[in-house]
Amino acid sequence: MTEPIAAAEDACVFCAIVAGQLEASIVHEDDIAVVFMDLNPVTPGHLLVVPRTHAVGLEDLDEATGAHVWTLGHRMARALRRSGLRCEGINVFLADGEAAFQEVFHLHLHVFPRYAGDGFTIDADWQERERALLDAEAAAVSAGLAAVDE
């Protein structure tokens, strides 16, 4: 999933925004991340929290930077609630990979206000899983965690 950094950054719209080469409506920036308005928002106030370091997905991002991105997401959610923009709720959303609907392959966290009738939906075939299946899946994830910690 990791691309050669120079090639990825040359073609990456978020790297260009972070570098100041493309226009963006910046809300916050620091040494680790930049927060700006989404050009194609779900609702007015839709923010993107983007690490300055090019990382395609979570696998490519160090945990400290990831934690900072989530901390900024939390702060931005609080800011949206105090902004005066219509905001009856908040969604925090990260798409990691094409199958998860990631469209820009530079990790980014969406933070956007929600309100009744805004038109955004999350739909799936929600079905309760049997305990034995959940236990097997938990064991598989635990084994994966052990591999991460090696």
Type and span of the H or E element at 89: strand 89-93
Q: Measuring CA to CA, how many Å separate 144 from each of 33, 70, 105, 138, 150? A: 28, 22, 24, 10, 10
Residue 96 CB partners (closer than 8 Å, separation 6+): 57, 58, 59, 102, 107
β-partners of residue 113 are 90
Residue 93 CB partners (closer than 8 Å, separation 6+): 109, 110, 111, 112
pLDDT tens digits, one per residue of 72-115: 999 999 999 999 999 999 999 999 999 999 999 999 999 999 99
pLDDT for 3 beyond 50: no
Q: What structural domains and CATH numbers belong to the chain? A: 5-116 (3.30.428.10)
The pTM score is 0.89
Rounded to the nearest angstrom, the gap between the alpha carbon of residue 35 and the centroid of all alpha carbons in its chain is: 11
Report the 10 Å Cβ neighbour count for 33.
22
pLDDT tens digits, one per residue of 25-57: 999 999 999 999 999 999 999 999 999 999 999
Type and span of the H or E element at 65: helix 63-81
pLDDT value of residue 150 = 80
* Confidence band of 9 (pLDDT split at 50, 70, 90): low
